Structure 1
């Protein structure tokens, strides 16, 4: 975990990434357990990286700003579908932390600062192959700019890894902690070994984290409940009131109501295709449409909300990180929101010691934040 100083006036952030001793060597872990990009986002990312990082001898982060229109134009000229390019620029790459968007100006995202040295050196080797954006294609009086030569790196610069139990353990933990979604059990076969599973749990415990298995048998990590309580008490990582309200509306429309209608019978938050649109959410007149749109962007970036298709929202993968006890508390929150004047809601409020009038959302952190 590293602290990244914000570029362009942005606030400092903390980022998880692979360290030099943990970054998977080729073949050590299957690719399904790591973040991967489809072809169009990969092309867009290459163009963005070249635009922000013209001199390979320097560090790629923070790099310089570049324009969205230049990226879209060049990728389209290279044969990529225009809509797919825009989706990569506006959603896929920002969600992965690879770029940051500020209107029409783009910058490299904080995840680039967390790239291990072995990855940066590999990018330097191939820097001359990155597509140059239109703004860099010509300089001065219209003459083409000089081509950046390949960056030479000594053959022994890339560290080698021994496939020791400790290395496998660290790689498994880093995969779980940085995965956007639960890691399929087939991608981390070492966790089928009780001894390795116990070693992972022991390594996570001092960090306040624990290993969890989803209902589908996949693997994920999350905060231990006592640490989650402590973070909420300190106001660290909690959601703003409008974000909590919008998340509650999404869960009501995509999980609670479909379950009440018999369209599914389990109590999981993800795994179903029930979606809700911004127009449906905006039927709640207490929150403006603009505020809802901004809240959905923040929730999507945090992984608490996802998009099945453009404009159709459903619960996000971060909800899979909750413990069973925390998940039950969130179900109780939905009861308090959906039917605040019912007997069950009254019993929940008495047990929690809440005195808030039915139907009013408290301003401070609630159990919903403790996920």
Structure 2
């Protein structure tokens, strides 16, 4: 079906679709729709979406631009196979980055839902090294997370990397809920999340102040 759609297009329009495909797959940040005809015009964008679908990927709109990311089901299957999984140390460090740059600023009203991953509230590497993990372990994890595009270094510290912009809306919602449960386990929103998931609220003994 996808081949038929592509073959039905004039050669120039096929080239437009392939150019947009290469852009959304390789760009570090969202590709402006105005720069690619296949992102701007719905019929061509539909063909692009079909091409991505064949590879287990989806087109994700971020503001005025687009990137591609894994389909939720495909991402789950890859995780079950152990593909693309972070080490426990990497997960711990990334969790702290998200806690300080996303969860806490959002709880304080500094971040809105549509700009969760473009935080302007960096965390210093030195603060991350004050936890239970050894400083050398934290530095190694930060290096590897940077290579993977999961964190980004800015002038005042570290913020989430561009790979977070490739999350689907469902994946973003699930991750945000986990951050809420981590940052405000006794808050109203956390209690609501637990009710929806059928999980009991933690006792105060489990989460000492």
What interval of TM-score do these two structures reach, taking the shorter chain for normalisation? 0.7 to 0.9
TM-score by length of 1: 0.48
Q: Does structure 2 retain, via aligned residues, the 8 Å contact 1:269–1:320?
A: no
SS at match of 1:164: helix
Deviation string for 1:284-326 (max 9, x for gaps)?
x2212111111111111111100112x6100111000011111
Q: Does structure 2 retain, via aligned residues, the 8 Å contact 1:273–1:314?
A: yes
Deviation string for 1:214-236 (max 9, x for gaps)?
0x211100011111111122221
- Report the CA distance shift for 1:168/1:272 in structure 2 as closer, same or farther (over 3 A): same
Whole-Å separation in 1 of the counterparts to 2:122 and 2:68:
26
Aligned match of 1:339: 184
- Report the CA distance shift for 1:300/1:332 in structure 2 as closer, same or farther (over 3 A): same
Aligned match of 2:139: 293
SS at match of 2:113: coil
Could you say what the CA RMSD is over the residues aligned between the two structures, in angstroms? 2.5
TM-aligned CA deviation for residue 249 of structure 1? 1.0
- Report the CA distance shift for 1:175/1:267 in structure 2 as closer, same or farther (over 3 A): closer
TM-aligned CA deviation for residue 212 of structure 1? 1.1
Which aligned runs of 4 or more in structure 1 are off by greater than 6 angstroms? none
Structure of greater relative contact order (alpha carbons < 8 Å, 6+ residues apart): 2
Aligned match of 1:240: 87
2:70 aligned to which of 212, 223, 226 = 223
List runs of 5+ in structure 1 lacking aligned partners.
1-161, 360-371
Aligned match of 2:14: 166
TM-score by length of 2: 0.82
Q: How does 1:119-268 map to 2 (within 5 A)?
A: 164-214=12-62, 216-268=63-115
Q: Does structure 2 retain, via aligned residues, the 8 Å contact 1:212–1:321?
A: yes
TM-aligned CA deviation for residue 275 of structure 1? 0.7
TM-aligned CA deviation for residue 352 of structure 1? 4.8
Which structure has the highest helix share of the two?
Answer: 2
- Report the CA distance shift for 1:351/1:263 in structure 2 as closer, same or farther (over 3 A): closer
Whole-Å separation in 2 of the counterparts to 1:242 and 1:346:
28
Q: Does structure 1 retain, via aligned residues, the 8 Å contact 2:119–2:160?
A: no
Whole-Å separation in 1 of the counterparts to 2:145 and 2:32:
24
Q: Does structure 1 retain, via aligned residues, the 8 Å contact 2:103–2:180?
A: no
Larger CA Rg, structure 1 vs 2: 1
- Report the CA distance shift for 1:272/1:345 in structure 2 as closer, same or farther (over 3 A): closer
SS at match of 1:276: coil
